[in-house]
A and B are shown apart, each in its own frame.
Chain A
Amino acid sequence: DIQMTQSPSSLSASVGDRVTITCRASQGIANDLGWYQQKPGKAPKRLIYAASSLQSGVPSRFSGSGSGTEFTLAISSLQPEDFATYYCLQHNTYPLTFGGGTTVGIK
């Protein structure tokens, strides 16, 4: 199975801060990676697909980069509605595997 190592597991930040989250795959997955945001009690919502493409309707402060084994989600200027848990997912090889999640909290 491909392991997705996501870091950090949690972070505290202020409104307006730039935030970056990283996922490392245990083997190459090309650009078969998505990033998801989940708020408490809600279903995940996809933000980024194909590693760097912005999902329709998602604010442009979210961006993704990377290919192969190293991937990054960046939020350029954190907004109050961005406090949530973020997950990466590789869909290159079955079983599909998620990162462990990053909870973004208020500093």
Chain B
Amino acid sequence: EVQLVESGGGLVQPGGSLRLSCAASGFTFSSYWMHWVRQAPGKGLVWVSRINTDGSSTTYADSVKGRFTISRDNAKNTLYLQMNSLRAEDTAVYYCVKARDVDYWGQGTLVTVSS
């Protein structure tokens, strides 16, 4: 069974940093592209970033480019999202999502940016 478990969310001040993790199991992690998708409270889904299988290629939404960095450790079956220079508008539930065609989702972790 595919399992994706996010962690690392919490309350952070504007301008601060946070690192999200996503522990994957139940599939061959190193064989799949991975994504981060976020959802602000009461709002729709927004794609944030993707990474290819070996981490050599990444893509970002314009809203996070230059501030967020996606990475992965295939030996640890873990996906990461390093978030710097956080803004109030980054407040959202962040989901880790498997595969190029976006099939399985984790349960999400809440990031709140507020003073």
Contact = CB atoms under 8 A, between A and B. Distances in A.
Interface of A: 32, 34, 36, 38, 42-46, 49-50, 55, 87, 89, 91, 94-101
B100 A91 contact: yes
B45 A44 contact: yes
A43 B108 contact: yes
Interface of B: 35, 44-47, 50, 59, 61-62, 95, 100-108
B44 A100 contact: yes
A43 B44 contact: no
Given A95-B59, A96-B47, A97-B47, A45 B102 contact: no
Contact of A94 (B59, B101, B102): B59
A74 B104 CA distance: 21
Nearest to A98: B45
Given A87-B44, A95-B47, A45 B61 contact: no
Main SS class of interface, A: loop
B105 A45 contact: yes
Main SS class of interface, B: loop
B65 to A, nearest CB: 10
Of listed B35, B47, B50, B59, residue having the most chain A CB within 10 A: B47
Of listed A50, A87, A96, residue having the most chain B CB within 10 A: A96
A42 B105 CA distance: 10
Contact of B102 (A89, A95, A100): A89
A50 B99 CA distance: 13
A59 B106 CA distance: 22
Nearest to B46: A98
A87 B59 contact: no
A96 B44 contact: no
Contacts of B61: 95
B105 A34 contact: no
Contacts of B95: 43-44
Given A44-B45, A87-B44, A101-B44, A96 B108 contact: no
Nearest to A6: B44
